[in-house]
Amino acid sequence: MGEVARGGGCCPPMDLFRSEPMQLVQLIIPIESAHRTVSYLGDLGLLQFKDLNSEKSPFQRTYAAQIKRCGEMARKLRFFKEQMLKAGVSPKLSTTQVDVNIDNLEVKLSEIESELTEMNANGEKLQRSYNELVEYKLVLQKAGEFFHSAQSGAIEQQREYESRLLSGESMETPLLQDQELSGDSSKQIKLGFLAGLVPREKSMTFERILFRATRGNVFLRQTAVEDPVTDPVSGEKTEKNVFVVFYAGEKVKAKILKICDAFSANRYPFAEELGKQAQMITEASGKISELKTTIDTGLQHRVNLLDTIGVQFEQWNLLVRKEKSIHHTLNMLSLDVTKKCLVAEGWSPVFATKQIQDALQRAAVDSNSQVSAIFQVLHTKEMPPTYFRTNKFTSSYQGIIDSYGVAKYQEANPTVYTVVTFPFLFAVMFGDWGHGICLLLAALYFIIRERKLSSQKLDDITEMTFGGRYVILLMSLFSIYTGLIYNEFFSVPFELFGPSAYECRDLACSEATTIGLIKARRTYPFGVDPVWHGTRSELPFLNSLKMKMSILLGVAQMNLGIIMSFFNAIFFRNSVNIWFQFIPQMIFLNSLFGYLSLLIIVKWCTGSQADLYHVMIYMFLSPTDDLGENELFAGQKNLQLVLLLLAVVAVPWMLLPKPFILKKQHEARHGAESYAPLPSTEESLQVESNHDSHGHEEFEFSEIFVHQLIHTIEFVLGAVSNTASYLRLWALSLAHSELSSVFYEKVLLLAWGYNNVIILIVGILVFIFATVGVLLVMETLSAFLHALRLHWVEFQNKFYEGDGYKFFPFSFSLLDEEDEVL
Amino acid sequence: MQERHDQIVSTPSPIHHLQLGIEIAGTLSLFSPIRIWHQSTDMGFPATTLIFAAIGIVASLCTVICFNRGSSSNLFHLTLVLTATICCWMMWAIVYLAQMKPLIVPILSEAE
């Protein structure tokens, strides 16, 4: 690329037509005011810093330690946010702007973090003890019931036995019974027991395994606990059973213990005596209520702490992110160790010079520095970034154009025309004023609730629709207009602008269905005559009309594109492009397709029956033949010969001269050079990328020639294919009107015909859903896409280069949009 | 004319009732003397073109007066208004010219 031609305009300047003029500036900032300077520049948001330390890794840079600190603080803030979410505390938007020092903030954050972690750990411990106690109490209660019932049963038996004994010694009493009774105490085997809780789903298996492991020599009793119990280990509520297992012997005890552990059954000590059980129950209850109050106060304390954090959270968050971005930016500046200052380089718009200088001044004053920063404009051959100053209306259109490619620095911006032509071409394909009104209502809804919706977090689809609300507004307004022209209101025509032009040939209207009506009155003044809808010849008429309309609109837009390339050539003072690109392109396109447009208009005005396909094709195949009945005006044959000749001449005119002229220009510029200019102090510090411009500039003639050949072939073939591409305007408009009329006739009218209220309601509902789903959503997207394609390809390939890069300044307001989570 | 009325009467849909009303109102205008003059010299095209031009000029003036924000901004707004006017006029003109001397006439479909 050659020099960046600082072009001049032929015409007065227009907003948004070309990107803002940019300049490369160099700032020399004393170290003590560096942080503040960068902070103020971030508030201003009009300077894009260049990375002067790009060859260094992130860890080698000057401010890596500070960034690590900021990262730590960010981690702590994330932790707080998590804790707040868990506790259900939401961070409030603080209205008071308390100035917080970043060092104090760091200390405060670490304090709060340690406090919070301690509280969490303590809370967990307490909760665990609480759960264990609750389980213990349950065991005491339930197991106590076992013993109580068993004891009472045993006492019953004993009493019965004793009563039998006391009732008298008789000869019937067996002798062995005495022995059994007396021998009881000496041969008593001590039974041990274990009590605890086991999860209910494992209880059957537990019982079975116990039985098998101990060969049936244990006695197990279980009861279910009604409510689910919080397990101390896992912290979840599970259904459990209380069990008591009686065993005899130490080995059996060991086995039972292992089985209990395997089943994660918690065991608790249990005393046999009734009195002691009661005492332990009261003790446990007391401890439980104590623990409960402790836990509650602990939770309250935690919630209070989180509340205080919540009040200041957003502010701290913003501060930490600002600090991080400031240090990232400071890392991009090169440290001039001898002069104790930092050197910054960046792109900024020319209009922002005063504002930047003001910010530097303020920063120097605020940081009590002796020296203020130095502001210097550098000269460079690099291509500057592209910056368009858009408002909320034009930004969505600029976004659409930027999606295809960001404009090269100061080339003509297609957005200026796209603002109108894009909704217009959409409307040509959408054309129904009923649907247009629905779209208008949707767009107005978004625009009226603009302020509220822009502060909310919307999901992807709604966000895209909201972002394009002004585009949709214009689309709907143009759709209403084209709907009135096509005369379609949900596919129904109206006679709004006067009487229809057609009437029957005779009073009996006998030939209306065979030969048709005749045009008796003046042409219907605005739009398509309402009589056409529903007739047999509607489609032939409308197809012919819409196809010719598409060609006319297409040729007009392509001519506009070529004229834009003319404006570019004038701006960049590239006369080669004017004489050897713009003029032959205009001649070629207009001698063929401009002539076709002319023929269409003449045919309409004269009502001739000439076949235009025939005319165009035979213009190429046999241009010298007599036209006969296809003659539309006198001298047509000669005109066609001239135009054909011009078109044929235009092709080598586009192809051949330009490469040779470029070669001559290059030789004139660099041929006589035997020295290279010395790099001056005003040059950028990053000289290595500019080496090529000093030395021998690469000029491959064959490359230029092939490039020009490709460009010419693209244009010549593209002239035909792009013109035909515009026929999609016809195709989609036909599809839309056919779908619309199908839904109206086959759903609504059919439902009306039955004279039944229920069928009518069902029919109306189906009609509404079909209209909204198919026509308002699918057709809108479809027409949007095709109109976009027409702009991106057919319009822009006539002039747009689109290989620039976007201006992305260091700005704190852009920071907010970057990442919501730190 | 008769048959069209029959058509309308046999399929009574609400929109057709509306159309009938508008048509009757339109028919009454047939008996104005201006119609005869209009029919002989089709003045519709130049007249309406002038109307579009007038609307365009009025809209441009309104934009410049109401949203006056510097000459470059004004030029941008004027470009938008001008482009919109030209697009709308082109569309109207194409549809109008196509219907001035038609080669195809409406052939009504059989009454259902």
Q: What does the angle CA A783 – CA A787 – CA A791 come to, to the nearest 5 degrees?
A: 170
Burial (CB < 10 A; 0-12, 13-18, 19+), residue A123, is middle
Output the pLDDT for position A421: 97
**B22 to chain A: nearest residue by CA?**
A495
Query: How big, in percent rounded to 5, are the helix, strand and coil portions of chain B?
Result: 80, 0, 20
Whether residue B41 lies within 8 A of chain A, CB to CB, comes out as no
Distance (Å, rounded) from C-alpha A485 to C-alpha A136?
Answer: 85
Return the amino acid letter for A295: I
Render pLDDT for A175-202 as a digit per residue (tens, 0 to 9): 555 544 444 444 456 778 888 888 888 8
Output the pLDDT for position B111: 64
Residue A336 scores a pLDDT above 70? yes
Q: What is the mean pLDDT of chain A?
A: 86
Whether residue A183 lies within 8 A of chain B, CB to CB, comes out as no
Q: In this structure, how many other beta carbons lie within 10 angstroms of the beta carbon of residue A528? A: 23
Provide the chain A residues 562-601 that lie in CB contact (below 8 A) with chain B: 601
Decide which of A97 and A595 is more confident.
Answer: A595
Question: What was the ipTM of the complex prediction?
Answer: 0.79
* Residue environment code for A754-790, b if the CB has 16+ CB neighbours within 10 A, otherwise e: eeeeeeeeebeeebeebbeeebbeebbeebbebbbeb
End-to-end CA distance of chain A: 41
Nearest by CB: B100 against A509, A535, A604: A604
| DSSP H or E segment with residue A436 | helix A433-448
Output the pLDDT for position A1: 38
- Give the residue from A85, A13, A68, A23 showing the smallest Cα distance to A48: A23
Residue A457 scores a pLDDT above 80? yes
Output the pLDDT for position A8: 60
Distance (Å, rounded) from C-alpha B73 to C-alpha A394?
Answer: 12
Mean pLDDT for the stretch of residues A611-620: 91
Cα A418 to Cα A257, A345, A421, A533, A788: the distances in Å are 82, 35, 5, 33, 9
Render pLDDT for A197-210 as a digit per residue (tens, 0 to 9): 888 888 888 888 88
Distance (Å, rounded) from C-alpha A558 to C-alpha A564?
Answer: 10
**A535 to chain B: nearest residue by CA?**
B108
Cα A570 to Cα A2, A18, A410, A566, A587: the distances in Å are 17, 13, 12, 6, 19
- The tokens of A528 are what? 């398509």
Cα dihedral: B76, B81, B82, B87 (round 10): 130
Decide which of B9 and A367 is more confident.
Answer: A367
Mean pLDDT for the stretch of residues A598-619: 92
Output the pLDDT for position A736: 96
Contact B72 A15 (CB under 8 A): yes
Distance (Å, rounded) from C-alpha A503 to C-alpha A520?
Answer: 6
Output the pLDDT for position A600: 95
Contact B94 A556 (CB under 8 A): no
DSSP code of residue A220: E
Nearest by CB: A502 against B29, B92, B106: B106
Contact B99 A528 (CB under 8 A): yes
Mean pLDDT for the stretch of residues A743-762: 90
- Residues of chain A with Cβ-Cβ distance to B5 below 8 Å are none
Contact B96 A541 (CB under 8 A): no
- The tokens of B40 are what? 């002989």
Residue A674 scores a pLDDT above 90? no
**B38 to chain A: nearest residue by CA?**
A522
Q: In this structure, how many other beta carbons lie within 10 angstroms of the beta carbon of residue A513? A: 15
Render pLDDT for A201-239 as a digit per residue (tens, 0 to 9): 888 888 888 888 888 888 888 888 888 888 877 778 888
Q: How far is B60 from chain A (nearest CA, A)?
A: 15
Mean pLDDT for the stretch of residues A757-766: 92
Output the pLDDT for position A189: 64
Mutate to test the interface with B, among A515, A604, A632 (most CBs of B within 10 A): A604
Residue B17 scores a pLDDT above 60? no
Output the pLDDT for position A681: 54
Whether residue A552 lies within 8 A of chain B, CB to CB, comes out as yes
Cα dihedral: A694, A698, A699, A700 (round 10): 170
Cα A807 to Cα A24, A46, A348, A381, A614: the distances in Å are 12, 9, 9, 17, 53
Look-up: residue for tokens 């606990």? A225
Whether residue A503 lies within 8 A of chain B, CB to CB, comes out as yes
Render pLDDT for A793-805 as a digit per residue (tens, 0 to 9): 999 999 999 899 9
Decide which of A711 and A172 is more confident.
Answer: A711
Contact B98 A548 (CB under 8 A): yes
Residue B112 scores a pLDDT above 50? no
Output the pLDDT for position A637: 92
Render pLDDT for A58-77 as a digit per residue (tens, 0 to 9): 888 888 888 899 999 999 98
Whether residue A548 lies within 8 A of chain B, CB to CB, comes out as yes
Decide which of A544 and A503 is more confident.
Answer: A544
Task: For chain B, give the percent of residues with pLDDT over 70.
Answer: 61
Burial (CB < 10 A; 0-12, 13-18, 19+), residue A813, is exposed
Mean pLDDT for the stretch of residues A510-526: 86
Output the pLDDT for position A370: 82
How many CB pairs below 8 Å do chains A and B form together?
Answer: 173
Mean pLDDT for the stretch of residues B77-89: 95
Sequence-ordered list of residues with C-beta below 8 angstroms from that of B36, at least 6 positions apart, any chain: none
Contact A509 B90 (CB under 8 A): no
Distance (Å, rounded) from C-alpha B112 to C-alpha A518?
Answer: 22
Nearest by CB: B106 against A507, A526, A531: A531
Burial (CB < 10 A; 0-12, 13-18, 19+), residue A70, is buried
Please check whether residue A346 is in contact with residue A37, taking contact to mean a CB–CB distance below 8 angstroms: no
Look-up: residue for tokens 């060092």? A103
- Judged by DSSP in three states, A454 sits in helix
Whether residue B36 lies within 8 A of chain A, CB to CB, comes out as no
Residue A478 scores a pLDDT above 60? yes
Q: Which of A179-188, A528-537, A553-562, B29-38 has the highest mean pLDDT?
A: A553-562
Provide the chain B residues 51-70 that lie in CB contact (below 8 A) with chain A: none
Mutate to test the interface with A, among B18, B87, B103 (most CBs of A within 10 A): B87
Mean pLDDT for the stretch of residues A349-356: 93
Render pLDDT for A677-695 as a digit per residue (tens, 0 to 9): 665 555 555 544 444 444 4
Render pLDDT for A382-393 as a digit per residue (tens, 0 to 9): 999 999 999 999
A62-76, A177-191, A405-419, A602-616: range with lowest mean pLDDT: A177-191
Sequence-ordered list of residues with C-beta below 8 angstroms from that of A165, at least 6 positions apart, any chain: none
Cα A534 to Cα A380, A439, A503: the distances in Å are 67, 26, 15
Nearest by CB: B105 against A420, A530, A537: A537
Contact A607 B102 (CB under 8 A): yes
Cα A211 to Cα A221, A223, A255, A267: the distances in Å are 12, 17, 11, 18
Whether residue B89 lies within 8 A of chain A, CB to CB, comes out as no
φ/ψ of residue B74, rounded to 5: -60, -40
Rg (CA), chain A: 45
